[in-house]
Amino acid sequence: MKGLSVGIGLPKVKKHSWQGLMAVICVIFVFVVAVYAFFYLRHDPTLTNLDHRLQDMSLQHPLGTDQLGRDVLTRLLLGGQQTIGYSLLALIVALIIGIPFGLISGYKRGLVDRIFMRIADGFLAFPDTIVAIVLSGLLGPGIGNLVLAIVMVKWVNYARLVRSTVLSESQKDYVLIARINGLPSSEIMRKHLFPHIMGHVFVLASLDLGKIILLISAFSYIGLGAQPPVPEWGAMLNDSRPYFQSRPELMIYPGLAIMVVVLLTNMLGDYLRDHYDVKKEVQQ
Amino acid sequence: MILSIEQLSISSKEKKIIDNVSLSIREGEWYALVGQSGSGKSLLSQAIGRMLSPNLQVEGKILFKDEDLLSLSPKRMRSFRGQKLSYVFQDYQGSFTPFRTIAQHFEEYQKAHGIPDTKDQQINSMEALDSVGLDEALYNRYPFQLSGGQLQRVSIAMALLLSPDLLIADEITTALDSVSGHRILELLAKRQKETGCTILFITHDWRHVRRYGTRLAVMKEGKIVESGGKHRILDHPQHEYTKQLIQAAPRIGHDLPSGLKEVENV
């Protein structure tokens, strides 16, 4: 069935690559693990037990315990939920704002486009770090505000990407025909243009996911994201910093988790980009 | 007069692309608009449906059955599009959204014009496909599964689906081979006889003008240099440019340019 390539509207170039397939499998695996964490919960991730602090690996605690006697594996799994979950949330909200914005801007053109794009330029003027720091300064630190900051910075990329694709697509005859056939604009955008842009958006989103995960971890590390005692990979890194000499593995586990997930999403993004050969499509 | 364009000018920021063009088309005729690439034919045709990009300035009047299309509200304009005037373009592949089936194209088109019932939609579409000599099996296919000639037939079927008063055919045979092109034009002529619709035929091929046209206008660099009946222009062109164009066209035999037989030994 040609379903996928037809549905997304980009030509398939490479059929399959092992790397890509591995990336897809691994990303799915990570998501499954993150969801599984809900059911795992053999320990309360926030329950401190100073009698059991800094223990080695054991059957009871497969990855040992941290400086407050909390089970590291539980915290790592729940931390993954937090990090990946909030990254996805930020990404999805950015998509929900960015895609319609870009669609309308590119399709209506003229004055609407100019106003929309100046708004977008305004948002683009602030680097993500600045926005995150300013927001947590104004609204207080917390993962919600961090997500808000990321959304504010990221949606513009999608709006611009979608707009540029729609600008070139809406000059084509099939959109002219749809318009001359008297179809309403909303219908044209939804059914004729939207599937065209999804391939491009998909690729950018999968590449962005890694960056967002890094951002959330980084800001949690410096204390602007998840607040203790909520487990989060960046925050866990920060918590275990004083014990780096005696218990390096406490830092290695979350660090490794961040690295692996970010690399995986990058691999997935590269794979999708090659798969749908976005560059070639844009050049045409 | 079904359509009269009065002193229409289209200009971008830099220059005037269409300069003070006037023409009028009578009901039921096959009006040909001739000119080389870049003369502004397509732009003029798109101005009729108000399909131009918003950065182009349009002045003048386009009277369609005594209503000025340029001053209609967007909503009223939308009800005109597809129902009273319709288009067929040169690029048959590009005329269909690649990931939607022929059926979906037909159905959403009818839905937009107040035929909500799927059964009715199907009956209408099948009739339309039948009228252009296409098999009903094509109905559920994707555009890329059809050949060029078939796609252009589907375009015509769709354009004539709601019996429009004016059909604008913008170089519809240019991208087809000559046999398919010929068939398409024969089909269009047949459908015109059956439905009585008016056709604005944009072309640069004199053979088509000679064979099917009733009246014509010649465009050059955004201006109409000459217009009138087919035989008058083809046999007695007044303007230098028209003469050049006619002479440049390939022609077999010793007929007059319009296809009339030359009377010998007079």
Map out the domains of chain A with their CATH numbers: 11-283 (1.10.3720.10)
Q: Name every residue in B having a CB less than 8 A away from some CB of A.
A: 46, 49, 51, 53-55, 78-83, 85-87, 89, 91, 94-100, 108-109, 112-113, 142, 155, 158
Q: What are the 10-residue block averages of pLDDT along chain B, 266 residues in total?
A: 88 87 90 87 87 84 87 84 86 85 90 86 89 86 88 88 89 84 87 89 86 89 88 88 82 69 62
Q: Are A173 and B94 an interchain contact pair (Cβ–Cβ within 8 Å)?
A: yes
Q: Are A191 and B108 an interchain contact pair (Cβ–Cβ within 8 Å)?
A: yes
* Pair B90, B171: CB distance under 8 Å: yes
Which uninterrupted H or E stretch holds B183? Answer: helix B178-195
β-sheet with B215-220: strand ranges across: B85-88, B166-170, B198-203, B30-34, B215-220, B223-229
Chain B residue with minimum CA distance to A195: B99
* CA-based nearest distance B1→chain A, Å: 22
For residue A124, give Cα distances in angstroms to A114, A150, A158, B96.
15, 12, 12, 36
pLDDT digits (tens, 9 = 90+) for A78-121: 888 888 899 999 999 999 999 999 999 999 888 889 999 999 99
* Pair B80, B166: CB distance under 8 Å: no
Tally the C-alpha atoms within 13 A of residue B146's C-alpha that lie toward its C-beta.
27
What are the backbone dihedrals phi and psi of residue B63, each rounded to the nearest 5 degrees, phi first? -95, 120
The Cα A195–Cα B129 span in angstroms is 27
Which uninterrupted H or E stretch holds A284? Answer: none
DSSP state of A227: P
The Cα B10–Cα B20 span in angstroms is 8
Start-to-end Cα distance in chain B = 39
Distance, C-alpha B69 to centroid of its chain: 18
Alpha-carbon dihedral sign for residues A30, A35, A41, A47: positive
| Closest residue to A110, CB basis, from B51, B54, B112 | B54
**How many A-B residue pairs are in contact by the CB < 8 A criterion?**
70
Query: If you average pLDDT over every residue of chain A, what do you get?
Result: 83
* CA-based nearest distance B109→chain A, Å: 6
The Cα B87–Cα A260 span in angstroms is 55
The Cα A270–Cα B242 span in angstroms is 57
What are the backbone dihedrals phi and psi of residue A118, each rounded to the nearest 5 degrees, phi first? -70, -35
If we measure between CA atoms, which residue out of A182, A12, A181, A192 comes closest to residue A106? A192
Query: A45: Cβ–Cβ under 8 A, 6 or more apart, which residues?
Result: A70, A71, A74, A75, A78, A229, A231
Give A196's pLDDT tier (boundaries 50, 70, 90): confident
Q: Which residues from A are below 8 Å from B51, CB to CB?
A: 176, 179-180
> In this model, does residue A41 exceed pLDDT 90?
no
Q: For the CA atoms of A145, A151, A156, A158, what is the dihedral angle to 10 degrees?
A: 170
Q: Are A192 and B113 an interchain contact pair (Cβ–Cβ within 8 Å)?
A: no
Distance, C-alpha B257 to centroid of its chain: 23
pLDDT for B265: 59
| Closest residue to B99, CB basis, from A6, A111, A177 | A6
Q: Which residues from A are below 8 Å from B100, CB to CB?
A: 191-192
Residue type, A38: F
* Pair B132, B157: CB distance under 8 Å: yes
Query: B174: Cβ–Cβ under 8 A, 6 or more apart, which residues?
Result: B90, B181, B203, B204, B205
Return the domain boundaries, chain B. 28-49+85-248
Location of structure tokens 């909200």: A93
Q: Are B97 and A173 an interchain contact pair (Cβ–Cβ within 8 Å)?
A: no
- Is residue A223 packed enough to be buried (19+ CB in 10 Å), middle (13-18) or exposed (0-12)? middle
* CA-based nearest distance A175→chain B, Å: 8
Residues 153-212 of A with CB under 8 A from B: 172-174, 176-184, 187, 191-192, 195
The class (CATH top level) of B28-49+85-248 is alpha beta
The Cα A80–Cα B175 span in angstroms is 56
Q: Which residues from B are below 8 Å from A9, CB to CB?
A: 98-99
The Cα B246–Cα B112 span in angstroms is 43
Q: Are B109 and A9 an interchain contact pair (Cβ–Cβ within 8 Å)?
A: no
* CA-based nearest distance B49→chain A, Å: 7
Which uninterrupted H or E stretch holds B11? Answer: strand B3-11
If we measure between CA atoms, which residue out of B86, B89, B95, B90 comes closest to residue B143? B95
Q: What is the DSSP string of B213-248?
A: -SEEEEEETTEEEEEEEHHHHHHS--SHHHHHHHHH
Q: How many CB atoms lie within 10 A of CB B137?
A: 8
pLDDT for A89: 94
Counts of helices then strands in chain A (DSSP H, E): 12, 0
- DSSP helix/strand/coil, B156: helix
pLDDT for A1: 36
Q: Are B109 and A173 an interchain contact pair (Cβ–Cβ within 8 Å)?
A: no
| Closest residue to A180, CB basis, from B86, B108, B113 | B86
Chain B CB within 8 Å of residue A4 CB:
no
Poorest-confidence range of A6-10, A59-63, A153-157, B121-125?
A: A6-10
> In this model, does residue A14 exceed pLDDT 70?
no
Q: Are A109 and B46 an interchain contact pair (Cβ–Cβ within 8 Å)?
A: no
pLDDT for B39: 86
Higher local confidence (pLDDT), B249 or A266: A266
Question: % helix / strand / coil in chain B, to the nearest 5?
Answer: 40, 25, 40
pLDDT for A16: 62
| Closest residue to A184, CB basis, from B86, B87, B112 | B112
pLDDT digits (tens, 9 = 90+) for A43-57: 777 777 777 777 777
Query: Residue B219's beta-bridge partner residues?
Result: B224
Task: Give which of B97, B125, B142, B163 to mutate to test A binding, by max A Cβ within 10 Å.
Answer: B97
* Pair B34, B203: CB distance under 8 Å: yes
pTM, to two decimals: 0.78
pLDDT digits (tens, 9 = 90+) for B188-203: 898 888 888 899 999 8
pLDDT for A119: 93
For residue A33, give Cα distances in angstroms to A38, A41, B128.
9, 12, 55
| Closest residue to B97, CB basis, from A111, A174, A179 | A174
Q: Which residues from A are below 8 Å from B94, CB to CB?
A: 172-174
* Pair B122, A194: CB distance under 8 Å: no
